[in-house]
Chains A and B, each alone.
Chain A
Amino acid sequence: MNKTILECNGIAAGYVKGLNILQGVDLVVHEGEIVSIIGPNGAGKSTLLKAIMGLIKVSAGRFYINGIEKTNLSTHKIVTEGIGYVPQVANVFPSLTIEENLEIGAWSVNNKKESIKNIYTNFPMLSERKKDKAGNLSGGQRQILALARALITSPSLLLLDEPSAGLSPVAINEVFDSIKEINDSGVSILLVEQNAKRALAFSDRGYVLDQGRNAYQGKGEELLNDPRVIDLYLGKL
């Protein structure tokens, strides 16, 4: 078994005091894995990513990053622990140029010029349009910029919140191709998706959340063919 990057033990968290959306979630991500979290609306998928990033307070349970406890660490410090995060909405700075977006992404990086250059080599589209405002990009281009902004710190784990939401089928393919390439370069991926079939087919392992709790977990392919999961979440697709 590969090294564990992220471990969540019994995480409870929510936006309002006394009203937890997550009610004890366990999850593990190993080095090099693609792990997806699926589940119906309101199951707490996005909330879990926010809790990991320290964007909402964890009221119970613990997080471990590379084996060291990091529960309720400030968000900007979690970034320096090697965790990157791409939110579902507002995932670029619209009034900043593409270059400025990357500069902000590289805020905590020592060699900023070098890391931005690397991003331009990997994503030539961004280099061509570096003086454009991010607000003028199409949905698919935005998603690529959002991925690039999160990658610039060379994270060991990337959290992605519904990267396919609102995109055209062609753009979805491009984004998933990029995610696969990022994973091939050694970055672990923790993915939240509505598009459960696509996500599971693409992942090493998956977790099914329901009402803030773990319902099922297993290998991506197994979950995809698990009659209980199909019954609950996939049947309607």
Chain B
Amino acid sequence: MLDQLGNGLLLGIIISVASVALSLLYGVTRIVNFAHGEIIALGAIATLFFSSPLDYRVLFLEKFSPLGLNFAISCFLAIVVCGLFGGLLEVFLFRPLRKNDVGNIAVLVVTIGLSILVRHLYLLFATGKVQNFPLELQRRQTYLFFDMTPRNFNVLIAGIIVMIIVGLLLTYTRLGKAMRAVRDSEELSSVSGINSDNIILITWVSSSMLAGLAGIFQATINDVRWNMGFLILLLIFAGTVLGGIGTSFGAMVGGLMIGIMVQVSVGLPFMEGHTEAKNAVALAVMILILLFRPQGIFGKKERIS
């Protein structure tokens, strides 16, 4: 059970970072972004491309050489690429849709289409091979009462620090307050003098950067796959909804809880030999919690008048 808790924390932090990104975007733009998983995968694939040694033929139909850059620089560049991708999506796709008053459901279907398109471009260019970052293997060590490799432990710490920074930025900075204001009401924000298009653009960029970071985490802990984002997308939605849609703090905790429940349920007696069904328990718990607390754990009921 306890080493499963370690695994649960690691999966939890990936989902948590990705859920905060999804929740931020949903909160400000009301877009349920099914292409979120592909931005996660972009973070991992871009890092793989930037960091793999020059003589590797990991990607791109064996035609292009990777860049062989320092791993940390690669991660940084990959996050920038994700931010850029998110920004371009907003400017060339979602802003025009918004200006033409395309309904929420139609936009949702657009994100599903985008997800399928981009995911299969990855399959085309990055191939279906399961690949790994060029990092040396590490031995597990014991931290407090769970075992994980030093690298994974660093991922966990980095994830927690990123969450704290995001929380502080949202609560105390002018930009964070503006994001929360646009989340409450775009119309009221613009009549308060805020250029809400700019705030939405910044939200797309920062949400995509966070998603890319989650992808790098996931690939560091596990591996790089063309459909890696899609595989955990459902868990990310679950984490977001469990915490309370649109609340960043809720998404953090909800994501962490889903990750832990998925991994810890592997240790349950009736799960023996059925570990491939591990998502089932976590999602069942999510449904139960929502039955009794429809607004999510940290979602608030508000007076409407």
Q: Within 8 Å of chain A (Cβ to Cβ): is B138? A: no
Q: Mark A70-82, 1 if CB is under 8 A from B, else 0.
A: 0000111001100
Interface flag for A100 (CB, 8 Å): yes
CA distance A161 to B147 in the complex (A): 61
The residue on B at minimum CB distance from A55 is: B187
A-B complex: 10 closest residue pairs judged by Cβ atoms: A108-B193, A75-B190, A79-B193, A93-B184, A135-B302, A107-B193, A104-B181, A85-B191, A90-B185, A76-B195
A149 CB-CB contact with B under 8 Å: yes
Q: At the interface, yes or no: A61 with Cβ under 8 Å from chain B?
A: no
Give per-residue flags for A102-132: 1 if the beta carbon is below 8 A from chain B beta carbons, else 0: 0111011000000000000000000000000
Q: Given contacts A95-B302, A166-B305, are A104 and B177 in contact (CB under 8 A)?
A: yes
Is the beta-carbon distance between B193 and A76 smaller than 8 angstroms?
yes
Interface residues of B, Cβ cutoff 8 Å to A? 174, 177-178, 180-181, 183-185, 187-196, 300, 302-303, 305
A182 touches B (CB below 8 Å): no
How far is A20 from B41 in the complex, measured between Cα atoms in Å?
Answer: 46
Q: State which of B174, B195, B305 has its C-beta within 8 Å of the C-beta of A139.
A: B305
Bound together, the chains give a CA A150 to CA B191 distance in angstroms of 8
Q: Is A94 close to B, CB under 8 A?
A: yes
Residues on A with C-beta less than 8 A from B184 are 90, 93-96
Interface pair B180/A107, CB less than 8 Å apart: no
- Known contacts A76-B193, A107-B192, A108-B193; A96/B181 CB under 8 A: yes
A76→B190 contact, CB < 8 A: yes
26 residue pairs bridging A and B, Cβ less than 8 Å apart: A53-B191, A55-B190, A74-B190, A74-B195, A76-B190, A76-B194, A79-B192, A79-B193, A80-B193, A87-B191, A90-B187, A93-B185, A94-B184, A95-B180, A95-B184, A95-B300, A100-B180, A104-B177, A104-B178, A104-B189, A107-B178, A107-B193, A135-B303, A139-B305, A149-B192, A153-B193
B188–A94 touching, CB < 8 Å: no
A149 to B184, CA, bound (A): 15
Interface of B is mostly: helix
Instruction: A9 to B178: give the CA distance in the assembly, Å.
Output: 34
- B190 CB contacts on chain A under 8 angstroms: 55, 74-76, 79
B194 neighbours in A (Cβ, 8 Å): 76, 104, 107
Query: B183: which of A74, A90, A95, A105 is its contact (CB, 8 Å)?
Result: A95
The interface residues of chain A lying within 8 Å CB-to-CB of B174 are 103
- For the complex, is A41 an interface residue (Cβ under 8 Å from B)? no
CB-nearest residue of chain A to B183: A95
Q: Closest residue of chain B to A54, judged by CB?
A: B190
Residue of B nearest to A95 (CB): B184
CA distance A91 to B184 in the complex (A): 10
* Given A55-B187, A75-B190, A104-B178, A94 and B302 contact (CB-CB distance below 8 Å): yes
Tell whether A104 pairs with B305 under 8 Å between CB atoms, given A87-B187, A90-B185, A95-B180.
Answer: no
Chain A residues within 8 Å of B180, by CB: 93, 95-96, 100
Instruction: List, in ascending order, chain B residues with CB within 8 A of A80's CB.
Output: 193
What residues of chain A lie closer than 8 Å to B188, measured between beta carbons?
A: 87, 90-93
| Cα of A87 to Cα of B192 in the assembled complex, Å | 11
- A136 CB within 8 Å of chain B: yes
Q: How far is the CA of A135 from the CA of B193 in the complex (A)?
A: 21
Q: Mark A8-46, 1 if CB is under 8 A from B, else 0.
A: 000000000000000000000000000000000000000
Nearest-Cβ distance from residue B169 to partner chain A, whole angstroms: 14
Task: Tell me how far the C-beta of A59 lies from the nearest C-beta in chain B, rounded to whole angstroms.
Answer: 15
CA distance A75 to B305 in the complex (A): 25
User: Closest CB of chain A to B187's CB: distance in Å?
Assistant: 6
Known contacts A55-B187, A93-B184, A94-B184; decide if A104 and B302 are in contact (CB<8 Å). Answer: no
Task: Determine the chain A residues whose CB is within 8 A of the CB of B187 once the complex forms.
Answer: 55, 87, 90
* Beyond A55-B191, A91-B188, A135-B303, 14 extra complex contacts between A and B, CB < 8 Å: A74-B190, A76-B195, A87-B187, A87-B191, A95-B184, A96-B177, A96-B180, A103-B174, A103-B177, A104-B178, A105-B192, A107-B193, A107-B194, A153-B193
With a cutoff of 8 Å between Cβ atoms, the chain B residues found around residue A136 in the complex are 303
Chain A 151-169: CB-based contact to B (< 8 A → 1; otherwise 0): 0010000000000001000
* A163 nearest CB across to chain B (Å): 13
With both chains docked as a complex, state the minimum distance between the C-beta of B170 and any C-beta of chain A, in angstroms.
11
Interface membership of A142, Cβ < 8 A: yes
Contacts of A95 in B (CB 8 A): 180, 183-184, 300, 302
Q: Is the CB of B177 within 8 A of A100?
A: yes
A107 CB contacts on chain B under 8 angstroms: 178, 192-194
A87 vs B185: C-alpha distance in the bound complex, in angstroms? 11
CA distance A115 to B192 in the complex (A): 14
A142 to B304, CA, bound (A): 11
Smallest CB gap from B176: residue in A: A100
Once the chains bind, are A93 and B303 in contact (CB under 8 Å)? no
